[in-house]
Chains A and B, each alone.
Chain A
């Protein structure tokens, strides 16, 4: 379940946010603190998660302290589903 979600999130982030559909994102790869997802794309992450999983991430939570990797993002989504 969680692995499926991580794979799906990874594909969506690569395609919709990085604009590089072939890019593989490792489950533990830092996304925000590395600058891979820049601040101007954070709101896209929130919209992507809400549209796909119906889970709301508040804008005050869009930072590396709340989630920085696909694993952490999947955990956050599961905790709220």
Chain B
């Protein structure tokens, strides 16, 4: 059992009629999909890829929404031996131009051979392909600049795919793959993320699944429920690949359906006796605050043994809010779990809350901020409740290093570094980025944190990054969009995140300097900034703060000092600075 296809073949031989996935669609009855149906549908795609000249080892980009087409196209690529990578679908609010630029960025670096999409979306794909990658990615010296558009030989639309048919495993390209071959690519969001495809081998993913399973005490009775998007590591690995590889039933719904009706997650847990679900922190607040009492009538959450907080900074208060709201429906406190994960380590680095309740480390707030030490809190001093991300899983080691790469002792805050046997092979076609990411075989995560009693605590990001609703955005990208609005001073914009206790995630705030004193004109500028950012990025802006020049604080090198601007903003609007 060294590759995905080997495992899928075993499922097909031993229990073809067992349910692999229960597909949920809003307003329609649920559709159970057996392994036989899953692999027959996948085989239709595999034969289509073969017929269209896609070779094993080539990358296929999937631009599809939640549905059987997506899962068949994905496993079809696996059966064929090609490398699938799922790209987010265009959303209602995103500007098509922005989407095309993102797709062009992905194509320019990843150089896929094929794109799979819906017939009605085909023109969008073609519109993105001929756009040269100028400015999006500069190849390192000595390396030829990649040429967007030329790598994609085939755009395969769902209407032209071969009908499902029972696979002949002996003839499938996927059965010829080796354990160290790349099995899939994961991308993170935004133009920057799309230029760094995390390439994972069969061996890495299977090592992750094997050790993460043990950390979770995975058993045959486990039923996984997920609404998470499959283009993100948490959705792809925990909420899609792992259950199918282990043979545990998966209840899968669309993120679009869940966000419009968060009770769907709880209904699925209740109806299918779900045991495990992964959620970003904001979802705890979202579920607790936005579900009507009448929608919870008859809901039974007693089967839920693990709700795993992952991918956003974890908040103690969010756990408490969730517990308070759902304990009356059978939700158990012991089910609150945590996880630290990243696409580069396939998924999980550490897991907490399985063998014992999640540790809450009460530390001195000032010592953390000023001395960079996580010192246990003393009576009467301002305290921060740090939520433990648990112990590293068996395949993974974690250490904390300083700026020079030297290992730091317990409770010293530094950069978290990870070494494992489930690590990425490299950023696809980006040897430059791959080399930079490692030091002596350790992957530098870019996260600040500390270790205490063998447990991992995450305490912020090294780079400026706003995490809102599980989505990562770079403030620089938002500032560039805002500066294009007429009336805004070039270079005099600052974007940053401010944590919102109500929503359990960060609010995006933009401060912009303008000359005009006309109130109507200032409202127009604020509106245009909001519009430019909402439609030009994956996130939504909470507040645009229009100010007179000079306001923005700059560093000595002329860069925006975001932390200082954030403090100034919070003082101005009368919020406590934290």
Q: Mark B535-570, 1 if CB is under 8 A from A, else 0.
A: 100011011000000000000000000000000000
Within the complex, which residue of B260, B286, B503 is in contact with A62, where a contact is CB–CB below 8 Å? Answer: B260
Please indicate the chain B residues that have their CB under 8 angstroms from the CB of A46 in the complex. Answer: 260
Could you tell me which residues of chain B, from 12 to 62, have a CB within 8 Å of some CB in chain A? 26-27
Within the complex, which residue of B27, B292, B534 is in contact with A38, where a contact is CB–CB below 8 Å? Answer: B534
Any chain A CB within 8 A of the CB of B530?
Answer: yes
| Cβ of B245 to closest chain A Cβ, rounded Å | 31
Q: Mark B283-301, 1 if CB is under 8 A from A, else 0.
A: 0001000101000000000
Label chain A's interface by main secondary structure.
loop
Any chain A CB within 8 A of the CB of B149?
Answer: no
- Candidate in A34, A40, A41 with the most chain B CB atoms within 10 angstroms: A40
Any chain A CB within 8 A of the CB of B403?
Answer: no
Contact A20 B543 (CB under 8 A): yes
Size category, B interface: 20 to 34
Contact (A43, B543) CB under 8 Å given A32-B93, A35-B535: no
Contact (A36, B27) CB under 8 Å given A43-B259, A63-B92: no
Contact B26 A40 (CB under 8 A): no
Any chain A CB within 8 A of the CB of B469?
Answer: yes
CA distance A43 to B292 in the complex (A): 10
Contact (A34, B93) CB under 8 Å given A19-B543, A40-B540, A44-B290: yes
Please indicate the chain B residues that have their CB under 8 angstroms from the CB of A19 in the complex. Answer: 542-543
Any chain B CB within 8 A of the CB of A60?
Answer: yes
CA distance A44 to B286 in the complex (A): 11
Contact (A59, B530) CB under 8 Å given A34-B93, A35-B540, A40-B469: no
| Cβ of B227 to closest chain A Cβ, rounded Å | 13
Please indicate the chain A residues that have their CB under 8 angstroms from the CB of B26 in the complex. Answer: 59-60
Contact A60 B27 (CB under 8 A): yes
Please list the residues of chain A having a beta carbon within 8 angstroms of any beta carbon in chain B. Answer: 19-20, 23-24, 32-36, 38-44, 46-47, 58-60, 62-64
The 8 closest A-B pairs by CB, nearest first: A35-B534, A38-B540, A35-B93, A59-B261, A59-B260, A60-B27, A62-B260, A60-B26
